[in-house]
Amino acid sequence: MPFPRASGILLHPTSFPSRFGIGDLGTEAYRFIDFLAASGQQIWQILPLGPTAYGDSPYQCFSAIAGNPMLISPEILCGKGLLTEEDFNDFPELPLRVDFGWVIHVKTLLLRKASDNFKVQATPEWHQAFEEFCQGAADWLDDYALFRAVKDAHGGASWNTWDETIAHRKPEALEQWQQQLVPQVFFHKFLQFEFAQQWADVKRYANEKGIQILGDLPIYVAHDSAEVWAHPEYFCLDSELGTPSLMAGVPPDYFSPTGQLWGNPIYDWERLQQDNFKWWVQRFQAMLDCVDLIRIDHFRGFESYWAIKGGETTAMDGEWMVAPGEALFQVLAEQLGVLPIIAEDLGFITPEVEALRDQFEFPGMKILQFAFDSDAANPYLPFHYLANTVVYTGTHDNDTTVGWFNARSSEEQHKVWRYLGCGDTQEIHWELVRLAFSSVSNQAIVPLQDILGLDTRSRMNAPGQAIGNWGWRYEQGALTAEVGDRLRDLTELYGRSRQPHLHS
């Protein structure tokens, strides 16, 4: 669906400042929303909110639906009486950049204490709210909580290495583990209950301020996830080993001579379609309960996907296979109504993928950092854009605009300045924000790093780099009134605020 003209900022909640080593859904989330509103923004784009696995990537989660407990605010738990300020006295001083190992270790101790206190301190009404949440979310929560509890009992090992009876979900094994791990299952359900409450409050506050939240839906789910363990019939797996028989990735190209081997199991699309895509309907419904808009990562995989046999170590030897994207989106539209979807259509895109995108009027993405490496025919130059698109200076996978520009040769930098029509005494990050906002694209979204003019050290993710990603956080006090006023000025100048007007 085409969207109204608007602008927004890309920032994952882990990037908020906080005293607990990772951004959370406490005070700084509300301050950020206030900054968005004061600067005239209408969109807050986030990355996937799930519980991250090895590598800390929000695109490789233990669940496609559950929330990340590390985003729970201990201060809000304190306000509810589940923790006290004394519980924070021994909390170590953690660096500004997220140290995920330390954060998970020390914050889990606080969360366990809050869970234990909830059991004995919560009022009957509070317990009833918990039970109602568990019942309403049972179709995914029961499997997820048991999955995490059994995983903890196995020292974090992947589900396909567990004892065969529980790995393959034999009824007697499920019953045995459920009885054995009652406290642990409760803990994981409590975390989801608290996450859901805190996130719902943040979203409500944003919506009241006129801000929509744009969520991110990865097309694939991690192999070591509750969904693959609970619904192996929907994935291409070795029936005995539980490992992927077909893996996801993309073929070799100019940037990667061996392609990209992601390792996620490929969907059994035929089986999913036989069940009228009920698994996908559930996933989208759960997503729409949490966000207002959805960006689909790797949209092209809904038209055709690169399938690599299990056991391969690169993505070179694969084949393109056709996916039933048209049938899927028709079912989603029939059951969920108009789909507020943005299609991530970057990379090698075929006419068939474009036709699927355009059939459902999903806007595609334009990246300004991609616009200056060829000639005037480059499709990322703004004069080629259509209105039903979303323009970015860069995404979470790009360098910051300052970092990107600094890495260019002087000749390449001159080419950018020549297009922009201004001298090199200007601030490149603000000039690219101006270029994005002035474009015809209905939506313009900018990573917060580019609003703040930060360099490569503040990059969120470098694809292909196994460690050191996802940890960036901005410093307390960075969202100044001066920065907000400058952003609002451009927002109003180019007709992207809620009450646009041209300056006299």
Residue 425 carries which DSSP code?
Answer: T
**Among 13, 57, 470, which Cα is nearest to 264's?**
57
Helix (H, G, I), strand (E, B) or coil at 8: strand
Q: Which of 116, 354, 397, 455 is catalytic?
A: 397
43 φ/ψ angles, rounded to the nearest 5 degrees: -135, 135
389 φ/ψ angles, rounded to the nearest 5 degrees: -140, 165
Tokens of 483: 């920065």
- Yes or no: say if 176 and 4 are a contact pair by the CB < 8 Å rule: no
Length of the chain, in residues = 504
Nearest-angstrom CA–CA distance, 384 and 374: 14
In the residue annotation, 397 being an active-site residue is answered as yes
Tokens of 461: 């993710």
Q: Which of 143, 297, 345, 431 is catalytic?
A: 297
**Among 494, 496, 488, 493, which Cα is nearest to 504's?**
493
Residue 40 carries which DSSP code?
Answer: T
Q: Which helix (H) or strand (E) holds 74?
A: helix 74-79
Strand pairing partners for 502? none
Nearest-angstrom CA–CA distance, 276 and 285: 15
In the residue annotation, 344 being an active-site residue is answered as yes
Nearest-angstrom CA–CA distance, 187 and 184: 5
Q: How many CA atoms lie within 13 A of 36 on its CB side?
A: 30
In sequence order, which ranges of 389-499 are alpha helices (DSSP H)? 401-406, 410-420, 428-438, 448-452, 481-493
Helix (H, G, I), strand (E, B) or coil at 446: strand
- Yes or no: say if 262 and 247 are a contact pair by the CB < 8 Å rule: yes
- Yes or no: say if 380 and 373 are a contact pair by the CB < 8 Å rule: no
Neighbours of 441 (CB within 10 A): 26
Query: CB-based contacts of 345: which residues, under 8 Å, 6+ apart?
Result: 299, 300, 353, 354, 357, 364, 365
Q: Which of 303, 344, 431, 492 is catalytic?
A: 344
Nearest-angstrom CA–CA distance, 152 and 140: 18
Tokens of 158: 């992947």
Tokens of 410: 């002087």
Tokens of 203: 């979203």
User: Could you write out the three-class secondary structure of 313-340?
Assistant: CCCCCEEEEECCHHHHHHHHHHHHCCCC
Residue 474 carries which DSSP code?
Answer: P
**Among 259, 225, 228, which Cα is nearest to 245's?**
228
- Looking at the annotation, which residues are catalytic? 297, 344, 397
